[in-house]
Amino acid sequence: MKKRVIIDCDPGIDDSLALMYALSAPELEVVGITVVCGNVPTDMGVENARRVCRLMGRQDIPIYAGAGAPLSRPLVTAQDTHGMDGLGETHIPEVTEEEWPHTRFSEKTEAGGFHVHSDLPDAVAFISKALSEEKLSVIAIGPLTNIAMALQYKPQIGENVERFVSMGGNFKSFGNCSPVAEFNYWVDPEAARYVFEHMECPVEMVGLDVTRRIVLTPEMIRGLEQLGDPKADFIVKITRFYVDFHKKQEGIDGCVINDPLAVGYFINSDLCKGIDVYTTVETKGLSVGQTIVDEKGFWKKKANSRVLTRVDSPRFMRQFMSALFGSRGEAVLR
């Protein structure tokens, strides 16, 4: 049985790899892609998600634009990391309306007894409606603004979220937006805190503690170059800028690909170990965006999260490359 999922993302280079993975994995049925402001402004993220779906031959997937700004603060993008175009300054031709008419969330009326406020972003309306109709899982790999808005608009949808996997936060690993904060939760800490406090199921937090171990190395990139596969060529192309950034910023050879691990872990949670614990997010002051993980139960609050602490990264890479390239994926990892 395929697992039906919504992917909420801010593509973004590693988001694009995660989308490619999710669209290739036989275990998943992606029922919709929702885009949130984060790495890049929302409309650019929508265009990049469309570019990835075109590459994957998946123009059947509805893509909806979400929140254009965080709940209560201005957007700070990560275009220094992902390029001004969000895909490593590759300026890949956009998907034209003729090629693939934009998906609009048309039920913005009383149609079917589902009424949304006209100012509700399409993605939020879609998430609310989809989760009103069936149990689904959500893999969130960007800031949590869309998710928080959907829960605020229709709190009861939380009961229909089978699993909620979020790439974000950090437990014992240092931050990437400040000494203590990770980008997705730092961009919209109010949304992150709201989701941790209001999601019925535990937030399965795929944070920097585990994603920093997922490195696309120069050797793997060379392996991809030799595959002669359009998907491999795309990965090589969009990660070049990202590799340069990682060398300069964190002295890493290669690049950390955070978001694909959220997909890989959703498919096979044996890849990671974690702790069931109460977590919240700081929303002000110097440590704004920091995930506060109450490992010792100091506040005696019910566990609302599974915070991942270890990952079998070679096993993840095999799983990732095999989903994308089948048996040829092994050649990339030799």
* Active centre residues (catalytic): 10
Angle formed by the axes of helices 230-250 and 42-55, nearest 10° = 140
Peptide bond into 83 cis (omega under 30): no
Phi, psi for 28 (deg, rounded to 5): -115, 145
Nearest residue (CB) to ligand RIB, 182 versus 190: 182
**Of the candidate residues 164, 183, 245, 320, the single one contacting ligand RIB (CB under 6 A):** 183
Nearer to ligand RIB, 141 or 281 (CB): 141
Segment contacting ligand RIB by CB under 6 A, of 27-35, 178-186, 230-238, 315-323: 178-186
Under the criterion CB under 6 A, does residue 204 sit at the interface with ligand RIB?
Answer: no
Site for ligand RIB in 231-290 (CB under 6 A): 258-259
70 near ligand RIB, rule: CB under 6 A: no
Q: Does residue 141 interact with Ca ion by CB under 5 A?
A: yes
CB of 193 to ligand RIB, least distance (A): 17
Beta carbons within 8 Å of 76's beta carbon, 6+ residues apart: 187
**CA neighbor of 221 nearest in space, from 249, 247, 191:** 247
Cα(327)–Cα(30) distance, integer angstroms: 23
188 near ligand RIB (CB under 6 A): no
Tell me the window of 12-20, 197-205, 273-281, 285-293 that interacts with ligand RIB (CB under 6 A).
12-20
Q: How far is the CB of 197 from ligand RIB (least distance, A)?
A: 21
CA 105, CA 204: separation in Å to the nearest integer? Answer: 28
Phi, psi (deg, nearest 5) at residue 26:
-65, -20
**What pairs with residue 293 in β-bridges?**
279
Residue 183 interaction partner, one of Ca ion, ligand RIB, none, beta carbon < 5-8 Å per kind: ligand RIB
**142: contact with Ca ion by CB under 5 A:** yes
Q: Is 95 helix (H, G, I), strand (E, B) or coil?
A: coil
How far CA 68 is from CA of 41, 168, 229, 280, in Å, comes to 7, 19, 35, 24
Which residue of 6, 8, 12, 291 would you call a contact of Ca ion, by CB under 5 A? 12
Per the structure block, which two tokens stand in for 87? 């895909």
Q: Measure the CA–CA gap between 312 and 274, rounded to whole angstroms.
A: 12
Query: Closest distance between ligand RIB and the C-beta of residue 155, in Å?
Result: 26
The number of C-alpha atoms within 13 Å of 185 and in the hemisphere containing its C-beta is 34
Alpha-carbon span 302 to 23, nearest angstrom: 35
Contacts of 106 (CB under 8 A, 6+ apart): none
Which residue lies nearer to ligand RIB by CB, 12 or 70? 12
Interatomic CA distance for residues 284 and 251, integer angstroms = 30
Of 283, 63, 59, residue with least CA distance to 190: 283
Q: What are 312's two structure tokens?
A: 């079998």
| 188 touches Ca ion by CB under 5 A | no
Residues 25, 123, 150, 167: which binds ligand RIB (CB under 6 A)? Answer: 167
182 binds, among ligand RIB, Ca ion, none (CB under 5 to 8 A by kind): ligand RIB
Among the residue ranges 7-15, 63-71, 190-198, 285-293, the one whose residues contact ligand RIB (CB under 6 A): 7-15
Q: Is 169 in the site for ligand RIB (CB under 6 A)?
A: no
The mark string for 129-158 relative to ligand RIB (x by CB under 6 A, - otherwise) is ------------xx----------------
Interaction site with Ca ion (CB under 5 A): 10, 12, 15, 141-142, 259
Sites of contact with ligand RIB (CB under 6 A)? 10, 12, 14-15, 38-39, 78, 141-142, 167, 176, 182-184, 258-259
